[in-house]
A and B are shown apart, each in its own frame.
Chain A
Amino acid sequence: MSHHLLEFCDVRFRYPDGTEALKGVSFLITHGESVGIVGANGAGKSTVLLHMNGHLLPTSGAVNVGEVPLRKETRPEIRRKVGVVFQHPDDQLFMPTVFDDVAFGPLNLGLPPDRVRERVHEALRQVNALALADKPPHHLSGGQKSAVAIATVIAMKPDILVMDEPAASLDPKSRRSVINLLNSFAHTKIVASHDLDLILDVCARCLVIREGVIVADGPAPDILSDATLLSENNLELPLTLQGRTGREEARR
């Protein structure tokens, strides 16, 4: 199914203040793949994700979603296909109640009210937040906000799900339910995170990005067990791969 392809061709991006965030990023993600993107702070992970739904447009190079090239005028179409959960839930919840917030996307897709209600219930149930439907989003706890932010995007049923640090600030149980949720999502998914255990659990493939270029691309278990590569990128072995001795070494 070629329409779920996501392709970056030599994407370069410079922020208005002159910072060159991406210096030629190329990769191809095919239908049904689960890809983790890891790297140090400021390496360019979030910038890559912001290109996936046209929040940023490349300074040079091309992004293709399916057969559609990312341009200013194709953004609405691309945003129907690619759902992005951004980093801070506070920046994503803006409606008076959780229900309205989750309904915002499906209503924008032009669905009839009955279908919208169905989608909202399904999405909230998937993130275990059905009980919060009538609450105002700004009064929720950090974890509840994250869960609702995920629900707002999955309610739109995107072909490609993109998440930036989905489990940051979640307690272990909520984190586990986000992992289960991601694993139950059959379509293409792309996750940027410092939580390497989460990447290991969710993703089959892993990209490592450093100073705006991809420095490694391969099966997640191989990349995430390469201690030298990880430490070059300000990362550590995932906790599940650290033996007691490994942990001692990491501390030194």
Chain B
Amino acid sequence: MGVFARIVGTLFLRTVERAERIYGAMLARGFRGDVPSMRRETFRPSDAIFVLAAGGFFSLCRFVPVPRMIGHLLRGGAG
């Protein structure tokens, strides 16, 4: 048990030191806290469709008892 604890301890220290070295390398290349991306974040037609579909589904659930209808359907109208 003692040996196991020491192995885990050493592994932890090695991990921390490695992480520090990687962080140092990131800083050396101008890292300032956020990972930059090449992709431009723009609002595309597919995003509009997603918003409309999701919004539509949630408002449907708000005004129509959708889960109960599904239950009815599954239990063949018995419930």
Residues of A within 8 A of B (CB): 53, 55, 75-76, 79-80, 83-84, 86, 88, 91-92, 94, 103-105, 107-109, 113, 116-117, 152-153, 156
- B28 touching A107, Cβ below 8 Å: no
Can you list 25 A-B pairs with a CB-CB distance of less than 8 A? A55-B24, A76-B30, A79-B28, A79-B29, A79-B30, A86-B21, A88-B21, A91-B24, A92-B22, A94-B22, A94-B25, A103-B38, A104-B26, A104-B35, A104-B36, A105-B29, A107-B38, A108-B31, A108-B32, A108-B36, A113-B38, A113-B40, A116-B38, A153-B28, A156-B29
Is B18 an interface residue, CB under 8 A from the partner? yes
Q: How far is the CA of A251 from the CA of B75 in the complex (A)?
A: 90
How near does chain B come to A46, taking the closest CB pair, in angstroms? 11
Shortest distance between the CB of B77 and any CB in chain A (Å): 52
Q: What residues of B have a CB within 8 angstroms of the CB of A53 in the complex?
A: 28
13 new A-B pairs (CB below 8 Å) besides A83-B28, A108-B29, A108-B32? A55-B28, A76-B30, A79-B29, A84-B28, A86-B24, A91-B25, A103-B38, A104-B29, A104-B31, A108-B31, A108-B36, A113-B38, A117-B38
Partner of A79 from B18, B27, B36 at Cβ < 8 Å: B27
CB distance from B20 to the nearest CB of A (A): 9
Residues of A within 8 A of B18 (CB): 91
Residue of B nearest to A152 (CB): B29
Q: Compute how far the CA of A230 lies from the CA of B43 in the bound complex, rounded to whole angstroms.
A: 64
Which residues on A sit within 8 Å (CB–CB) of B31?
104, 108
Instruction: List the 5 shortest-distance A-B pairs measured between CB atoms, nearest first.
Output: A108-B30, A107-B36, A105-B29, A91-B21, A92-B25
Q: Which residues of B contact A153 (CB under 8 A)?
A: 28-29
Collect the chain B residues with CB atoms within 8 Å of residue A88's CB. Answer: 21
Complex CA distance for A79 and B22, rounded to whole angstroms? 15
> Of all chain A residues, which has the CB nearest B29?
A105
- Nearest-CB residue, chain B, relative to A56: B24
Complex Cα gap A103–B29 (Å): 10
> Which residues of B, 15-72, contact A by the 8 Å Cβ criterion?
18, 21-22, 24-32, 35-38, 40
Residue from B28, B38, B40 having most chain A Cβ neighbours under 10 A: B28
